């Protein structure tokens, strides 16, 4: 049973199919169907072969549910090993990152933890059932430089070099220590909503969070669901199917505390309503996640905006079509500067591409674009059988 190898036949899309759907059902379906779903999955896969990372990350939770059901499946011993490994790796991440969060707080930098840590400790309530290999820490935009200074003084370095003038186009930066542990330091809570207004929505709703003895913040259930769905409904080379389990776990654990009206209002203002609708509707129809019918009906009643239509082409296409045509820069630029006039928007795109592609001057963009297209066409010719 190996983590790794791509299962690209199931596309890298956010909608699980085939064996992935069986694994998701085993993870969040009715308790009395867990063993049935797992055995159906096992009949269709070679457990000694590679499996995609999205499926592998669900195994510890499925093991815990099988154990609770008293399963005597022959794979329980191996699944227990996967669970223990996930528990150790998660503890190791927490042990490495908690002192950094403490340093930030001591330096006067407010922190808010996204995704993995609050999900594991607040909603899954287990270090082992929600594996993670990095930690997402958000700081305020005006404290970004101080936060970077504090983190780097603790021995963490950027995974990819980013020049200072390029930071304006980023929402986060990946930092690693000597042991290879990772922190994603964010100064915007959502890649798709890099604005003070959107960030303030997350900060205002944040709740206290005790992270390994360090007092920090976590998103409230409303923001947690929004982030899980919007972040998850996007193609990836590694199938991002865990978003369904994350969002379903929050809804089933804290559904009464979710402000659905505020969720819809935020998604509408940030032009994320269509993707939110796709995600919630899918969870409710395919996995019986208890999303209120009135919420689903209200979301279905709107048409996607232009930026959402373009994003659907980019984010919800296959993994191959997502990464090769180089459409990500256009979407990211649109999200950063969509409120500018059309002339200012077009005039600034060349300078943005120069920063994005780490070129010295905007005048170098056409040559880089032609070179990129040439490499792409050459690669396709090599990959296409004669």
pLDDT tens, N- to C-terminus, the chain (386 residues) = 534 333 333 456 788 888 999 999 999 999 989 999 999 999 998 888 777 888 899 999 999 999 999 999 999 999 999 999 999 999 999 999 999 999 999 999 999 999 989 999 999 988 889 998 889 999 999 999 999 999 999 999 987 777 666 666 678 888 999 888 999 999 999 988 888 899 999 999 999 999 999 999 999 999 999 999 998 988 776 667 899 999 999 999 998 999 999 999 999 999 899 989 999 999 999 999 999 999 999 998 878 887 788 777 777 765 545 444 456 676 777 776 655 566 666 777 777 777 776 777 777 767 776 776 666 666 656 655 55
Query: For the chain, what is the largest distance between any 2 Cα atoms, rounded to a whole number of angstroms?
Result: 66
pLDDT given at position 50: 74
Provide the 8-state DSSP code for 21: H
**CATH placement of domain 2-306:** 3.30.460.40
Q: Where do we find the tokens 């930030």?
A: 104
| Backbone angles phi and psi of 112, in degrees to 5 | -135, 125
pLDDT given at position 96: 93
Alpha-carbon distance of 144 to 213, in angstroms, equals 24
The string over 159-197, giving b where at least 16 C-beta atoms fall within 10 Å of a residue's C-beta and e elsewhere, is: eeebeeeeeebbbbbebebeeebbbbbbbbbbbbbbbee
Alpha-carbon distance of 29 to 38, in angstroms, equals 11
pLDDT given at position 227: 95
Q: Write the CA distances from 139 to 145, 195, 342, integer angstroms.
A: 10, 13, 31
Q: Write the CA distances from 65 to 23, 37, 38, 70, 85, integer angstroms.
A: 12, 12, 10, 9, 17
pLDDT given at position 8: 33
pLDDT given at position 385: 56
Q: Write the CA distances from 81 to 1, 78, 381, integer angstroms.
A: 10, 5, 44
pLDDT given at position 373: 64
**Where are the alpha helices (H) located in the chain, listed in sequence order?**
19-28, 34-44, 53-56, 59-68, 76-106, 116-118, 144-153, 196-205, 221-232, 242-254, 260-269, 273-287, 293-300, 306-315, 319-323, 328-337, 342-356, 365-383
pLDDT given at position 6: 30
pLDDT given at position 201: 97
Alpha-carbon distance of 222 to 346, in angstroms, equals 36
Cα 25–Cα 33–Cα 49 angle in degrees, nearest 5: 55
Pick from 231, 238, 324: which is nearest to 11 by CA?
238
Beta carbons of 22 and 50 less than 8 angstroms apart:
no
Q: Where do we find the tokens 């499925």?
A: 62
Beta carbons of 239 and 3 less than 8 angstroms apart:
no
CB atoms within 10 A of CB 291: 23
pLDDT given at position 132: 87
Exposed, middle or buried: residue 46 (CB in 10 Å: 0-12, 13-18, 19+)?
exposed
Sequence ranges of the chain with CATH classification 3.30.460.40: 2-306
Alpha-carbon distance of 139 to 185, in angstroms, equals 7
Collapsing DSSP to helix, strand or coil, 211 comes out as strand
pLDDT given at position 185: 95
């Amino acid at each position: 049973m190996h983590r790794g190898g791509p299962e690209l036949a199931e596309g890298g899309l956010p909608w699980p199919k085939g064996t992935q759907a069986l694994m998701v059902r085993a993870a969040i379906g009715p308790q009395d169907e867990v063993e049935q779903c797992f055995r159906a999955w096992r009949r269709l896969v070679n457990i000694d072969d590679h499996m995609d990372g999205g499926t592998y990350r669900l195994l510890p939770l499925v093991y815990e549910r099988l154990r609770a059901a008293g399963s005597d499946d022959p794979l329980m011993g191996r699944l227990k090993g996967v669970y223990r490994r996930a528990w150790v790796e998660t503890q190791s991440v927490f042990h490495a990152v908690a002192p950094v969060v403490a340093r930030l707080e001591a330096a006067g930098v407010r922190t808010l933890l996204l995704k993995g840590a609050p999900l594991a400790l607040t909603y899954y309530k287990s270090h082992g059932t929600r594996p993670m290999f990095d930690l997402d820490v958000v700081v305020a935009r005006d404290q970004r430089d101080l936060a970077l200074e504090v983190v780097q003084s603790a021995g963490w370095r950027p995974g990819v070099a980013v020049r200072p003038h390029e930071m304006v186009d980023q929402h986060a930066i990946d930092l690693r220590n000597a042991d290879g542990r990772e922190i994603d330091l964010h100064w915007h809570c959502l890649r798709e909503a890099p604005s003070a207004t959107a960030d303030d929505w997350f900060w205002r709703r944040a709740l206290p969070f005790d992270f390994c003895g360090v007092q920090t913040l976590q998103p409230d259930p409303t923001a947690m669901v929004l982030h899980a769905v919007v972040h998850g409904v996007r193609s990836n080379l590694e199938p991002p199917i865990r978003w369904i389990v994350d969002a379903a776990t929050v809804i089933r654990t804290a559904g009464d505390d979710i402000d659905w009206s505020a969720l819809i209002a935020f998604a509408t203002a940030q032009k994320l309503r269509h993707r939110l609708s796709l995600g919630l509707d899918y969870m409710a129809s395919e996995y019986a996640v208890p999303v209120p019918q009135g919420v689903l009906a209200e979301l279905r009643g709107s048409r996607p905006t232009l930026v959402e239509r373009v994003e659907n082409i980019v984010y919800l296409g296959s993994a191959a079509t997502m990464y090769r045509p180089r459409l990500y820069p256009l979407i990211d630029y649109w999200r950063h500067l969509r409120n500018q006039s059309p002339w200012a928007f077009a005039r600034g795109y060349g300078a943005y591409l120069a920063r994005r592609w780490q070129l010295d001057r905007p005048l170098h963009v056409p040559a880089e674009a032609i070179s990129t297209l040439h490499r792409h066409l050459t690669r396709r010719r090599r990959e296409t059988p004669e």
